[in-house]
């Protein structure tokens, strides 16, 4: 429960900050151009009819320079109510009844000013990410494990091994780029390359790649196309858990599970996945033959093998913590001062955005649809303990996601308004407010469907253990 509350608190703080800054971007340009902002609301505030009483859904904080500042109860976003604009809080009919002076109305401003008002949110999200990354580099520096220092190398699935990769290979470069460190960019770069260079037993080997690798196929495979190898060493054992009761100890190396030889946790996860599938297929009602496991270990400091009889938990857990392989690798830290952190933060933010845009096509596949999540998915990404570098890094990345998604030409989102305004600039014909309202209604249901998909996926993962 404590872990859940910590993750939930981080998620709420992250969303509140990003919503405040995103809507602040719209607010800033509206004020610059003399457009009246009636209401600034963090989170949405739909009213609720409780039967005996109607809850307004909002808490008014204060009024300043003609703008009411509110806090809503539904943390799905936020909004600014801009005079003369049809949006999620104002219909075309309400717009006609608005008594705001004509010179302070959004709809009466030149197209370029309206465009900047709508771009303001996206722009602020991107700037926020760059500022956070720069601040992270200035405060903590940039610590990483050089690719060549990952001495255990990587493990590869059957498809990758058919191309010439071998378990233990260390990927160091392609014909187009050099990998200074391990990160998700490796997948993206492999799809662009013709060949890849690896270190194998201390020697550099070149592997020719197929004409085109598909990123979607690579990331949806089980096991993954490639991932860092993690030796099957037990970092710690939970007291009175299944492994502890079986006699497993800290530092033990698991060499076989149910007769299947393993050298890494990567392989063991695949074997354990088979047990999970059996449990899921039986709706959790499985016999002892599924939960009773035979585990062969080599105790720390011993050459002899010991066979342990372990009864897994109903969630097919052994009750151990995996070896932290990164602690073995020699890291390097780049320190930045108040000036050098800025270009470093901009470079890193730009790279993160480009990679996210490149990988967006994954969402539009059948497997990608399964990966869509809501608060459950996003919240699970935060660390289980409050660790500021991780919190700020994830907040910056989510800010980039919000910037990119809001820039897409989806009705009701910022990108939809931007797209309509650009059409107006090109055709010199302005859309009517009622036409914009109809477009927004379509967008509302599209966004609602996407949110419903994300909530369903989260629920399915939590309850039915599918995907």
Whether 192 and 128 map to the same domain: the answer is no
Residue 464 pLDDT grade (very low, low, confident, very high; cuts 50, 70, 90): very low
Residue 50 lies in a domain: no
Ranking 97-106, 220-229, 413-422 by mean pLDDT, the lowest is 220-229
Determine the Cα–Cα distance for residues 385 and 353; give it in Å rounded to an integer: 27
Residue position matching structure tokens 């494990």: 145
How open is the CA angle 104-105-107, to the nearest 5 degrees? Answer: 145
Q: What is the mean pLDDT of residues 399-408?
A: 89
Whether 298 and 264 map to the same domain: the answer is yes
| Rg of the Cα atoms in the chain | 27
Residue 386 has pLDDT above 50, yes or no: yes
What local confidence, expressed as pLDDT, does residue 396 receive? 94
Residue 85 lies in a domain: no
Determine the Cα–Cα distance for residues 426 and 424; give it in Å rounded to an integer: 5
Determine the Cα–Cα distance for residues 373 and 359; give it in Å rounded to an integer: 16
Check residue 83 and give left, alpha or beta (phi > 0: left; psi -120 to 50: alpha). beta
Domain count, the chain: 3
Residue pLDDT, tens place only, 173-226: 999 999 888 776 788 888 888 999 999 998 999 999 987 777 767 766 777 888
Residue 437 pLDDT grade (very low, low, confident, very high; cuts 50, 70, 90): confident
Q: What is the mean pLDDT of residues 10-28?
A: 92
Percentage, residues of the chain above pLDDT 70: 81
Instruction: Write down which residue in 177, 197, 228 finishes a domain.
Output: 228
Whether 291 and 222 map to the same domain: the answer is no
Whether 245 and 298 map to the same domain: the answer is yes
Q: What are phi and psi of 388, to 5 degrees?
A: -60, -45
Whether 166 and 130 map to the same domain: the answer is no
Determine the Cα–Cα distance for residues 213 and 365; give it in Å rounded to an integer: 16
Residue pLDDT, tens place only, 45-55: 777 766 666 66
Residue 379 has pLDDT above 60, yes or no: no
Residue 81 lies in a domain: no
Q: What is the mean pLDDT of residues 153-167?
A: 92
Residue 434 lies in a domain: yes
Residue pLDDT, tens place only, 345-364: 999 999 889 878 877 766 55
Whether 310 and 261 map to the same domain: the answer is yes
What local confidence, expressed as pLDDT, does residue 325 receive? 83
- Would you say the C-alpha torsion 391, 396, 400, 406 has a positive or negative sign? positive
**Count of CB atoms within 10 A of residue 276's CB?**
13
Whether 222 and 154 map to the same domain: the answer is yes
Residue 62 lies in a domain: no
Comparing 227 with 453, which gets the higher pLDDT?
227
Mean pLDDT of the chain: 82
Q: Are 40 and 27 in contact (CB under 8 A)?
A: yes
Whether 187 and 112 map to the same domain: the answer is no
Determine the Cα–Cα distance for residues 249 and 134; give it in Å rounded to an integer: 43
- Domain of 107 in residue numbering reads as 2-12+28-37+100-134+392-464
Instruction: Write down which residue in 228, 252, 280 finishes a domain.
Output: 228
Q: What is the mean pLDDT of residues 410-424?
A: 85
In the chain, what is the straight-line distance between the N-terminal and C-terminal CA atoms, in Å? 24
Residue pLDDT, tens place only, 252-271: 999 999 888 999 988 888 88
Q: What is the mean pLDDT of residues 40-44?
A: 89
What local confidence, expressed as pLDDT, does residue 460 receive? 44
Residue 423 has pLDDT above 50, yes or no: yes
Q: What is the mean pLDDT of residues 371-383?
A: 56
Residue 187 lies in a domain: yes
Instruction: Write down which residue in 228, 247, 282 finishes a domain.
Output: 228
């Amino acid at each position: 429960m404590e872990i859940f509350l910590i993750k939930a608190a981080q998620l709420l703080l992250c969303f509140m900050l990003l919503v405040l800054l995103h809507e602040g971007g719209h607010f800033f340009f509206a004020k610059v151009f003399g457009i009246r902002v009636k209401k600034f609301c963090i989170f949405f505030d739909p009213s609720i009819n409780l039967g005996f009483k109607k809850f307004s859904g909002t808490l008014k904080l204060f009024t300043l320079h003609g703008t009411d500042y509110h806090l809503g109860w539904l943390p799905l976003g936020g909004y600014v109510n801009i005079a003369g604009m049809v949006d999620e809080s104002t219909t075309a009919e309400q717009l006609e009844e608005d008594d705001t002076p004509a010179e302070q109305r959004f709809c009466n401003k030149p197209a370029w000013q309206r465009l900047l008002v709508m771009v303001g949110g996206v722009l602020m999200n991107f700037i926020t990410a760059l500022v956070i990354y720069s601040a992270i580099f200035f405060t903590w520096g940039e610590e990483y494990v050089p690719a060549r220092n990952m001495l255990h190398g990587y493990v590869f699935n059957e498809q990758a091994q058919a191309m010439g990769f071998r378990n233990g290979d260390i990927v160091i470069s392609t014909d187009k780029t050099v990998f200074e460190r391990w990160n998700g960019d490796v997948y993206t770069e492999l799809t662009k390359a013709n060949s890849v260079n690896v270190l194998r037993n201390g020697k550099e080997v070149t592997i020719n790649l197929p004409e085109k690798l598909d990123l979607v196929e690579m990331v949806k495979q089980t096991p993954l196309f490639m991932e860092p190898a993690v030796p099957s060493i037990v970092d710690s054992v939970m007291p009175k858990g299944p492994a502890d009761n079986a006699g497993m100890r800290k530092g033990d190396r698991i060499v076989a599970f149910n007769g299947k030889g393993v050298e890494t946790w990567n392989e063991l996860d695949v074997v354990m996945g088979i047990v999970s599938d059996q449990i899921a297929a039986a709706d959790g009602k499985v016999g002892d033959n599924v939960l009773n496991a035979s585990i062969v270990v080599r105790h720390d400091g011993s050459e002899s093998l010991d066979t342990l009889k372990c009864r897994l938990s109903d969630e097919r857990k052994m009750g151990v913590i995996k070896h932290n392989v990164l602690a073995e690798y020699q890291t390097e830290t780049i320190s930045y001062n108040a000036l050098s952190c800025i270009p470093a933060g901009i470079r890193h933010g730009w790279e993160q955005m480009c990679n996210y845009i490149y990988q967006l096509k994954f969402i539009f596949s059948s497997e990608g649809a399964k990966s869509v999540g809501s608060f459950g998915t996003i919240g699970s990404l935060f660390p289980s303990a409050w660790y500021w570098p991780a919190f700020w890094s994830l907040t910056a990345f989510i800010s980039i996601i919000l910037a990119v998604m809001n820039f897409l030409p989806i009705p009701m989102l910022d990108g939809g308004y931007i797209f309509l305004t650009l059409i107006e600039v090109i055709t010199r014909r302005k859309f009517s407010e009622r036409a914009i309202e109809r477009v927004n209604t379509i967008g509302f249901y599209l966004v609602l469907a996407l949110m419903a998909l994300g909530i369903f996926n989260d629920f399915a993962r939590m309850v039915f253990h599918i995907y």
